[in-house]
Structure 1
């Protein structure tokens, strides 16, 4: 499923993401205020976002639960058209799994709040990053779409969408900046971990299939 260089990149993302989320979760555990980095970034984004709320809300909504469902449907349909089972499984399971890890495990475990609501990691940042990561691993990694210009444009747009959704959430005072950083790490690392597991399973299955004819020939000899 994954070319070697993408496999290495995915492994790096899992390691860095896990360490990053652990560090942020430990540092901001049970926190109820902005940290030093948040104070620098948040104030600038909030001030620059004033008067543009009508544009920021639709952008932030790209990380909402309804958008997650729509994004999953689009990714699954596209994966089905490739006839690649690991890609279909990754598209169907990756984003919801990442969101569940954030909402049901990490947010209660860390306990950081923003205006009274659990905030680290950001669910919106987790959702949009997971969807973007599925596209990169299931499609871009194997040269899809075939048109190089379109593929390159989508690869460039992918991190910009994540930054846009994350920045909008901060500008609208829905999250601290470090919440969105942690969310992006969770989304990317969970999808990468699942992709690596599917890749290992697919390679093992291919290896077993290759050995079967050889064993049959040996028996006939």
Structure 2
């Protein structure tokens, strides 16, 4: 292997999202004037090291932290480990070292389903909708863990993405790329998550749709 940090061991050694000492800081929120240590964050993947199954480590002491109301972005080239870091936080790969905490609770050992129950939502980059189901059925599937009335939340999603209400009885697989992404985000919102993670939410959509989708994401935050 060469000197490219994204090729060595197929791992992520980019220090923009990797903290080798495990004590990171975040930019202070407006009006505080004080740094926010990651140990105090609402959601934190703390010095995570791990990979898929029995394969090699892809993350190397990676720390990701975010507070309520904040929009955090992981930036890096292809293969840097951006999606892998999000999957580690969501419990979709083994974290062999480090921990994941949500609102002060260690959730490292929880399954993705249990993390959803704790208040996490995740929209993967691909295969993120049920193409044979209608738009409304997709949204209903998003609320599968809820036992209360979901009609109010569904109306909120329709208010956020009006086109989905127009096409609520149409198969999701017949929608455009941008509309599919709206379905995926809307379905994740049906759980009323405390934290919503989006993996490449604008991949494959036009610039106009991308701007609109980001506007809606900002509204949610």
Q: Could you say which TM-score interval applies, normalised by the shorter chain?
A: under 0.3
Of structures 1 and 2, the larger Rg is shown by: 1
- Between structures 1 and 2, the one with greater strand share: 2
TM-score by length of 1: 0.26
TM-score by length of 2: 0.26
Higher RCO (CA < 8 A, seq sep 6+) = 1
